[in-house]
Structure 1
């Protein structure tokens, strides 16, 4: 989206500058130089505008996702249960846990 906006605005500025320069009767080398300058400037401007639009859409999508699925992360945190397979397998079982199992037998 960023590059698309930059390219669209750059080419638009280039074509308008060429058209208006030739209609005004300016020499071709002056028209071409001004058109290239306009294309570069508007390409950068379009890329900035595209980046802003991308960030706005991204933030909107994240907010809508949080609104649609609010309990996805909160229910697991309040119950003390993590996602499947998230328990810490590197920790050895506690001594109390082993004694409790031995007494139950």
Structure 2
């Protein structure tokens, strides 16, 4: 995973505060794990789109290992899972690896 200021590193401790801070942007969260091969495939796509959409969307990555409270709260059963929030409300989700085109379409529908 590439850590940049454009992609927040999320966990049970900081998730809610980052979610509440996104007043004017969509908030897209990638739930993943280091041992997850599909997550590794998807990670570069997510990072690339974070650069392209940084003005309208805040991106975050949430490692599911050791962070069970948020995982349970949002009923994450498979990874990678994307949750999209607007003003603290989850408005859409996607499960599995997405292509760059699919991820762009997912965001554009919700902008």
Length-normalised TM-score, structure 1? 0.20
More helix by share: 1
Higher RCO, Cα 8 Å, sep 6+: 2
More strand by share: 2
Length-normalised TM-score, structure 2? 0.20
Structure (1 or 2) with the larger CA radius of gyration: 1
